[in-house]
Amino acid sequence: MNSIKVIIQGYAQKLSDGRYKATSTTVLVHSAGKLILVDPGLIPAELKKALGNEHLQIDDIDFVVVTHTHQDHARNSRIFDKSKILDLLPAKRGQIPEFLRVPDTDIAVIYTPGHVEKHISLIVKTPAGKYAIAGDAFWWEDSQEQETDTLSLIQHTDPIAKDPVMLQNSRRELLGVADYIIPGHGKMFTTSR
């Protein structure tokens, strides 16, 4: 039986110069005896503290998955042994096979481009329902209200999206398959599915 836990709540604070002070939501998944860490974030000390709160260390993690390669999601990957980092990002648009899963688990990987071209989300079935670890398919700045009705979710502006139309399509897909969405920055929310 799979279980899922947000161990770092992602944040994105826009600075006066237009840059962001940010790190991603980091999620720990237990599946088939494996520990999978999704989007390890930016700050090593923050990640090590969060793992310590779970009585875990870096070496206890079996696999690391990043939803996309922006530094606030992926930089901490460098502190893990390279053999533990799964490269599940598609080489080109549309190349990720529909059946792709995290090895030895039933965690599905789906292609969710728009924020960037190479972006994935994970779908995790649990006794409570299906969770989508959505990376920046959904995200909010800390100063924004997190509106979670379907129309607001689909139309929410991503100021750095590479393809807003494709992003809206990815959001629709996630909202159609998941009961809960864990965004890259912001709080987990339930869908109307």
Alpha carbons 23 and 162: distance in angstroms, whole number: 20
Q: What is the mean pLDDT of the chain?
A: 94
Q: What is the pLDDT of residues 19-61, one digit of tens each?
A: 899 999 999 999 999 999 999 999 999 999 999 999 999 999 9
State the pLDDT at residue 83. 87
**Exposed/middle/buried for 68, CB within 10 Å: 0-12, 13-18, 19+?**
buried
pLDDT, one tens digit per residue, over 69-80 is 999 999 999 999
CATH superfamily membership of 3-190: Ribonuclease Z/Hydroxyacylglutathione hydrolase-like (3.60.15.10)
- The answer to whether the beta carbons of residues 162 and 117 sit under 8 Å apart is yes
Q: For 40-60, give the secondary structure using H, E and C.
A: CCCCHHHHHHHHHHCCCCHHH
Residue 193, both tokens: 């599915």
The torsion region of residue 54 among left (phi > 0), alpha (psi -120 to 50) and beta comes to alpha
The pLDDT of residue 89: 82
pLDDT, one tens digit per residue, over 138-176 is 999 999 999 999 999 999 999 999 999 999 999 999 999
Query: Which pTM does this prediction carry?
Result: 0.95
Query: Per residue in 96-148, pLDDT tens?
Result: 665 688 999 999 999 999 999 999 999 999 999 999 999 999 999 999 999 99
Reduced to 3 states (helix: H, G, I; strand: E, B; else coil), residue 63 is strand
- pLDDT (0 to 100) of residue 92: 67
Q: Does residue 90 carry a pLDDT above 70?
A: yes
